[in-house]
Chain A
Amino acid sequence: MENILQYIVSGLSTGSLYALVALGVVLIYRANRVLNFAHGDVTTLGAFLAIALVAMGLPWWLAFLLAILGGALASMFFYFSVLIPAQRREASHLGQLILTLGFGLLAQSGVLIFGNLETRVFDFPLSDSVIYEWGGVVISELSIGILVTTAIATILFFLLVQKTSLGLAMRASSENLPAAQTLGIPTRPVLALSWGLASALGVLAGLFLAALLFLDPTFMLESFLKGFAAAILGGLNSLPGAIVGGLILGLAESLAGAFISVAFKNTLAFIIIIVVLLFRPEGLLGKEFIERV
C-alpha cells in the first residue's frame, strides 16, 4: 500500500497529458460543435516536425516552438480553406466530422511521405531515466517536466480565456455565433485562432508523449482516443471538465493497472466512455441537454 502514492503521482503525470489533449478537443468542440478527428494526426505531424528541425541542428527549444507553431498553422489553414467553405454550404455535423477525418488522413500522409519512419527514441532534453526520490516516491525528470509544463500551460490558457479580450471573443463566438457576429466580433479569425490554440496544446502534449512512448507514425492513436475519453468524462462542453476528466482518467488507469491488471488498464478508458455516455452524457461538469427518443 505504500506504493499507492507512487501510482497516484505517475497517474497524475499521464493524466495531465490526457488533459492537454482533451483540452484541445473540447476547445474545438465548443467553437464549432464538431469533433476534431484530426487532432491525433496533427500532433504526430508536429512531433515529426520537431525531430526534423532538431536533426537540422536547431536548438531543442526553438525546434519545439516551431513545431507547435507549425501544428497550429496547419490547423488554421485547414479551417480557413476547407471547413469555412463547407459551413457556407451548410454541411451537416457528420459532414464536418468526416472533413476533419479527411484532414487527419492528409496529415498522416504528410508524416508518411516526409518523415523518417523507423521507430526510434525521441531525444528529449528531460530524460526518462534521471530519477529523483522524494518521500518514498520515485519520479523521473520527465514526469516532473510533464507536470510542471502542463500546469503552466493550463494556467496560461485559463488566463487567456478568462482575462483577455481575445478570450472573451472566443467564449462569445462559441456560445452564440450569430450574436457575436452582430456585435462586431470577427468570428472567423477568432475561431481559427481557437483551432490553432487547440492544435498547439495538442502538439505540446504530443512532444511529451513522444518522449514517453516510442515515436512511430501511429504513436498518438491510442492517446488521442484516451484524450477523447477524458473529454467525454469531463463534459464535451466544459474546459475545466477536460482537465478534471484527464486527471481522473490518468489516475484511474494507473490505479487499475496496479490493482486489477495491466491489460485492463487500456480497456478502462473505453469502458469509461461507454458507461459515461449511457448514464450521464453531459459528463461530470458539462451542461448540455440531450434529447431522448
Chain B
Amino acid sequence: MDLIESYSEELQLIRKGWTKAWVWGLTAMLFLSPLYLSDGYIYIATLVFIFTIGTLGQNLLIGFTGQISFGQAGFLAIGAYSFSHLNNFGVPAPLALMAAGVICGLFGLLVGFPSLRLKGPYLAIVTLGFGVAVYQILANSPLLSGGRMGVVIRRLEGFSILSTEQVYFYLTFVIALGFVLLTYNIVSSYMGRAFIAIRDNDIAAEVLGVSLSRYKLLSFAISSFYVGVQGGLLALLLGYLEPNMFTFLVTIDFLVAVVVGGLSRVEGSILGAAFVVIVPQAFSHLSGVTPLIYGIAIILVLIFEPLGLAGVWLRIRLYFRNWPYR
C-alpha cells in the first residue's frame, strides 16, 4: 500500500519507479508509432489526442466540480470558428489556437454566471439552451459561418521527413500531453481541491473559505478553454467547418466520453476520448450500433462501475498489485 510521508511526495505525478518506467515506455512507443503504423491509424490516433483535450476540460467541470453542462457543442463551435476566422485573417496558427481557447474561455465565463444561481436540471437546461443557441446563430448567419459553403481553413503541410498526417500526429500529441500534465497539476493543487469541495458540498466549501463564485466561474472558464483549443485543432485538422458539425449530438458524445471514461479521473478522460473516437470508426459500416454501444456503456458504467473505464483499469492494477492476496 502507499505510504506517503511528505507533501512533496504526494505532489509527485508518478511515485513508484516501476510505474515511471512503463509510463515512459508507453509514451516513447506512442511517440515512435508513426514509424510502424499506417496513415489510417495515425489519423485515428490524432483524433483521439484532440478529443482528449476537450474531454479533460469537461471532466474538470462535470467530474471534479460537479456542474452539469450540456453546452459543449456550442463551445466547440466557438473555438473552431474563432480559430478559423483568425487564421484566415493571417494570424499564425499557434497564436490563433491560444486566442480561440481564450475566446472560448470568456464565453465559458459568461455561461458560468447562471451556474452561481442555478443547480442541477436548471443548469443543465441553461447550458443546453446556450449550446443550441450558438448552433442556431451560426446556422443563420452566413457572415460567421460561411453559410451553406462552410469555412475552409489552410491545413498544415508535411515538412522534411514527416508526412502531413505525421505532422498533425506529433503536433496534437505534444499539445495533448501538455494538457494532460496541466490537468494533473490543477487537480493536485488548491484549485483542484476547491473544485472537489464544491462538488461534494458547496455550502460546506463556502464555510471553509472556498470562494464559490470565483471557483465555479474558474471551472467553467478553464474547461471552456480546453474545449476551445480542441475546436481550433479540429478546425486545423479537418480543414472545413460547417454548422451541422456542432449539433446536440456532439454534446452527447462529450458526455459519453466523460462518463464512460470515468468522472473525476484524468486517465479516465483519455480512455473515454479513445472510446468515443474508436467506437464510431469501428462500427461505421453498421448504422445504429454506435448509439447502442454508447447507451449500454453508459448504463453499465453508472450502475456497476462509477469510475468507468478508469475504474476498470484501476481494478486490474490493484489485482496485480495485491496478487496473490485478494
Asked whether A99 and B299 contact (CB < 8 A) given A111-B288, A221-B248, A232-B125, the answer is yes
Q: A3 to chain B: closest CB distance in Å?
A: 23
A183 at the interface (CB under 8 A from B): no
The residue of chain B having its C-beta at the shortest distance from the C-beta of A278 within the complex is B114
Say yes or no: A112 contacts B62, CB within 8 Å.
Answer: no
Question: Which of chain B's residues 275-310 have a Cβ closer than 8 Å to chain A?
Answer: 287-292, 294-299, 302-303, 306
Task: Report the bound CA distance from A278 to B287 in whole Å.
Answer: 40
Question: Which of chain A's residues 86-125 have a Cβ closer than 8 Å to chain B?
Answer: 86, 89, 91, 93-95, 97-99, 101-106, 108-113, 117
B88 at the interface (CB under 8 A from A): no
Asked whether A86 and B130 contact (CB < 8 A) given A101-B252, A101-B255, A105-B294, the answer is no
Q: B305 to chain A: closest CB distance in Å?
A: 12
Q: Select which of B114, B132, B289, B294 is within 8 A of A113 by beta carbon.
A: B289
B185 at the interface (CB under 8 A from A): no
Asked whether A270 and B129 contact (CB < 8 A) given A29-B121, A102-B302, the answer is yes
Say yes or no: B296 contacts A106, CB within 8 Å.
Answer: yes
A293 at the interface (CB under 8 A from B): yes
Q: Select which of A106, A110, A225, A274 is within 8 A of B126 by beta carbon.
A: A274
Asked whether A274 and B288 contact (CB < 8 A) given A94-B62, A94-B68, A99-B302, the answer is no
Task: Report the bound CA distance from A293 to B259 in whole Å.
Answer: 27
Task: Report the bound CA distance from A113 to B303 in whole Å.
Answer: 25
Contacts of A97 in B (CB 8 A): 68, 121, 124
Contacts of B133 in A (CB 8 A): 267, 270-271, 274
Asked whether A102 and B136 contact (CB < 8 A) given A94-B66, A270-B129, A277-B122, the answer is no
Contacts of A35 in B (CB 8 A): 121, 124-125
Say yes or no: B290 contacts A109, CB within 8 Å.
Answer: yes
The residue of chain B having its C-beta at the shortest distance from the C-beta of A38 within the complex is B295
B213 at the interface (CB under 8 A from A): yes
Total contacts A to B, CB within 8 angstroms?
Answer: 141
Q: A43 to chain B: closest CB distance in Å?
A: 15
Contacts of A228 in B (CB 8 A): 125, 128
Q: Select which of B140, B206, B292 is within 8 A of A267 by beta carbon.
A: B140
Say yes or no: B292 contacts A106, CB within 8 Å.
Answer: yes
Task: Report the bound CA distance from A192 to B140 in whole Å.
Answer: 41
For the complex, count residues of B whose C-beta is within 8 A of A: 48
Contacts of B306 in A (CB 8 A): 95
Q: Select which of A106, A263, A264, A291 is within 8 A of B119 by beta carbon.
A: A291
A281 at the interface (CB under 8 A from B): yes
Q: Select which of A99, A117, A274, A281 is within 8 A of B129 by beta carbon.
A: A274
Q: A90 to chain B: closest CB distance in Å?
A: 11
Q: Select which of A105, A113, A218, A273 is within 8 A of B298 by beta carbon.
A: A105
Say yes or no: A98 contacts B128, CB within 8 Å.
Answer: no
A236 at the interface (CB under 8 A from B): yes
Say yes or no: B125 contacts A98, CB within 8 Å.
Answer: no
The residue of chain B having its C-beta at the shortest distance from the C-beta of A41 within the complex is B291
Say yes or no: A292 contacts B117, CB within 8 Å.
Answer: yes
A251 at the interface (CB under 8 A from B): no
Residue-by-residue, is A116-146 near B (CB-CB < 8 Å gives 1, otherwise 0)?
Answer: 0100000000000000000000000000000
Say yes or no: A236 contacts B290, CB within 8 Å.
Answer: no
The residue of chain A having its C-beta at the shortest distance from the C-beta of B258 within the complex is A98
Say yes or no: B292 contacts A105, CB within 8 Å.
Answer: yes
Task: Report the bound CA distance from A274 to B122 in whole Å.
Answer: 10
Say yes or no: A82 contacts B303, CB within 8 Å.
Answer: yes
Say yes or no: B247 contacts A221, CB within 8 Å.
Answer: yes
Say yes or no: B118 contacts A117, CB within 8 Å.
Answer: no
Say yes or no: B128 contacts A277, CB within 8 Å.
Answer: no
Q: Select which of A221, A232, A263 is within 8 A of B140 by beta carbon.
A: A263
Pick 26 A–B contacts, CB within 8 A, sort by A.
Answer: A33-B121, A91-B302, A94-B62, A94-B66, A95-B306, A99-B299, A102-B295, A103-B295, A103-B299, A104-B295, A105-B294, A108-B288, A109-B291, A109-B295, A112-B291, A113-B288, A267-B136, A267-B137, A267-B140, A270-B133, A273-B128, A273-B129, A277-B114, A281-B117, A290-B119, A293-B117
13 more CB-based (< 8 A) A-B contacts, given A85-B303, A102-B294, A267-B133? A34-B121, A94-B120, A98-B298, A99-B298, A99-B302, A109-B288, A109-B295, A110-B288, A111-B288, A225-B128, A232-B122, A270-B129, A271-B133
Nearest 5 CB-CB pairings of A with B: A112-B288, A102-B298, A105-B295, A109-B292, A273-B129
